[in-house]
A and B are shown apart, each in its own frame.
Chain A
Amino acid sequence: MQYQSQMVAKPYFIAAIGLFTAQILFGLIMGLQYVMGDFLFPEIPFNVARMVHTNLLIVWLLFGFMGASYYLVPEESESELFSPKLALALFWIFLVAGALTIIGYLAVPYATLAKITGNDLLPTMGREFLEQPTITKLGIVVVALGFLFNIAMTVLKGRKTTITLVLLLGLTGLAVFFLFSFYNPSNLVLDKMFWWWVVHLWVEGVWELILGAILAFVLIKTTGVDREVIEKWLYVIIAMTLITGILGTGHHYYWIGTPEYWQIIGSVFSAMEPIPFFMMTVFAFNMVNQRRREHPNKAAVLWALGTAVMAFLGAGVWGFIHTLSPVNYYTHGSQITAAHGHMAFYGAYVMIVLTIISYAMPMMRGRAAANSNKSQVMEMWSFWLMTVSMVFITLFLTAAGILQVYMQRIGGDAAQSFMVVQEKITLFYWLREAAGLVFLIGLIVYIMSFFVGGEEQTETA
């Protein structure tokens, strides 16, 4: 670690891992509620568990992205962070606001929460992923603006690299699109359309830029390949991401009342969205094959390669499966969507955050370059446990989804009702829950790996 202010990333990463754990626990609760409907009722109803599961995901990924930015921007800019104090203050504001929101979800009925927080003054609540009370949303805006200011000032006063520029573009896009969470038109079609602009233009647009920047940073550091080569790839990947992603978001507009042309535009462009992910896979493996040094942090390299592969599978392949409008006509909102959501979020965004944590954390904890061999072996075990169980979660949900679509939506008069079908695919929900437990074990192993000592690995360039 070259700059003292990079240390502010540490609390962000720790919070991210903590919230990640909570997210998985709520995921398991919810998974069980699929098969045991009254589990933990009335304390934690399904809708609340779902809300907490998805909100925690977004929040901890944001913590991860912020930590990643605070870590890599000073190093890239070759300058201390503009204001480490601001970064720490924002950390506490964000954490407390996040915790209060989650407590609010769990402690009082949602309608009461809306009332207490004055939702009627500026109604923004009640939409999926955007359930946060309006004051929390305002808090997020403050945190995001302060964060962007801090990062931008650091970039401006130091060396400007492609990585920091791409990262800054991604983070700015993240903040700008979040503003649409305040736009709540009474026209349902418009409401739905702009709703997609928040989380979904993130994940298939600007977040991919953040992902690309972090991946490029870790690859430069661990492979020693020329910055020029890596930046060139970054350029073409983000260009392709923007070309396909922005119009590809049209695949969400098929059935919400928007003009018919979205069927074509959405289908064609979203069908091309796997391309940038595929380029990312080729890029990552190429760089690692051309490496000019053996970085002692093998775990970080494994996470980086894993990100490239799993992002392509989860976001690319599993997205493609149901993106064409004639297919989506049947699969919309089925368990196939859930399968895609799980693997895409894990493969692209969870794994990239774990990649940068894996790379940065040893140094922030005072090690030269990497953890001890013992600790790394454990971390790699956790990689495989989590990744393989996520593959199984995806496969089980896909199987459930195919059966669901087949029994519930195809077959005309023979089609069966939602509840009847849910009953018939219980087996897959049980299997998914089992895979989820393995995921939790993987996560526990991951956390334990931080507490394994041993002789640390040093640079052997």
Chain B
Amino acid sequence: MTNPIPETTNTKSPPGDLAIWVFILAELSVFGALFVVYAFARRYNVELFDHYQLTLDRTAGLINTVTLITSSYFVVRAVAAIKRGNSPTCSRWLSAAILLGVLFLVVKGMEYQHHFSQGIGLSTNLFYTFYIALTFFHFMHVIMGMVILTVVAIKAHRGGYSAEEHTGVETGASYWHMVDLVWLILFPLIYVMH
């Protein structure tokens, strides 16, 4: 038990750049509004929503939830690595997280492929409008998060961060966790609750 990390120190600012937190807050508001509007739209169309919810592949949703949670966990490990000054390990964890991001996109893409091949689109009915709009908006965020993580991973690989200065890693990590957090609400809301 030598040199335990002082876990109890409180800092004032969250990990990463303050600007990304303002951005995260803004993004959460947009998603929050979409969730609430979904819930109220369902309230007035319960049967329609419950009926078409059954056409979603809940197992794919489960796989994707596990994928994102695990990916988020890998990013936590990446931040822990760079805090110890271990750039190669940090970069490896980030790469693994990005690969899981790819897996998420593939699974989601297969779901879309399934629906679209049946001629389902945004206009099919109100449920699909929400399902496609919400998940696709999230889909774009996954891509955006992966781009950020890739930039960070490359810089980490080149040794651009250190135990003292690694704000960039934390900034990218915070955004990625936000993408995860949003999905953790989205999955039960759209795939499960009825």
A29 close to B (CB within 8 Å): no
Q: Taking the nearest CB of chain A, how far is it from the CB of B182, in angstroms?
A: 13
With A259-B122, A261-B129 in contact, is A268–B30 under 8 Å at CB? yes
Q: Taking the nearest CB of chain A, how far is it from the CB of B148, in angstroms?
A: 11
Contacts of A243 in B (CB 8 A): 27, 30
With A233-B19, A235-B19, A236-B20 in contact, is A261–B26 under 8 Å at CB? no
Interface size on A, residues (CB 8 A): 22
CB pair A265 B29 closer than 8 Å: no
Bound form: Cα–Cα A72–B130 in Å = 44
Q: Which among A233, A259, A268, A275 is the interface contact of B26 at CB below 8 angstroms?
A: A275
CB pair A240 B26 closer than 8 Å: yes
Interface 1/0s, chain B 104-125, versus A by CB < 8 A? Answer: 0000000000000000001100
Q: Taking the nearest CB of chain B, how far is it from the CB of A215, in angstroms?
A: 15
A272 close to B (CB within 8 Å): yes
CB pair A268 B22 closer than 8 Å: no
A269 close to B (CB within 8 Å): yes
CB pair B33 A272 closer than 8 Å: yes
With A259-B123, A261-B133, A264-B41 in contact, is A232–B19 under 8 Å at CB? yes
Bound form: Cα–Cα A428–B116 in Å = 53
Q: Closest B-chain residue to A278, C-beta based?
A: B26
Contacts of B123 in A (CB 8 A): 259-261
B52 close to A (CB within 8 Å): no
CB pair B37 A268 closer than 8 Å: yes
Bound form: Cα–Cα A272–B32 in Å = 11
Contacts of B37 in A (CB 8 A): 264, 267-268
CB pair A232 B30 closer than 8 Å: no
CB pair A264 B133 closer than 8 Å: yes
CB pair A268 B122 closer than 8 Å: no
Contacts A232-B19, A275-B26 supplied; 16 other A-B pairs, CB < 8 Å: A232-B17, A233-B19, A236-B20, A236-B26, A240-B27, A259-B122, A259-B123, A261-B122, A261-B133, A264-B130, A265-B129, A267-B37, A268-B34, A271-B33, A275-B29, A276-B26
**B interface residues (Cβ-Cβ under 8 A, vs A):** 17, 19-20, 22-23, 26-27, 29-30, 33-34, 37, 41, 122-123, 126, 129-130, 133
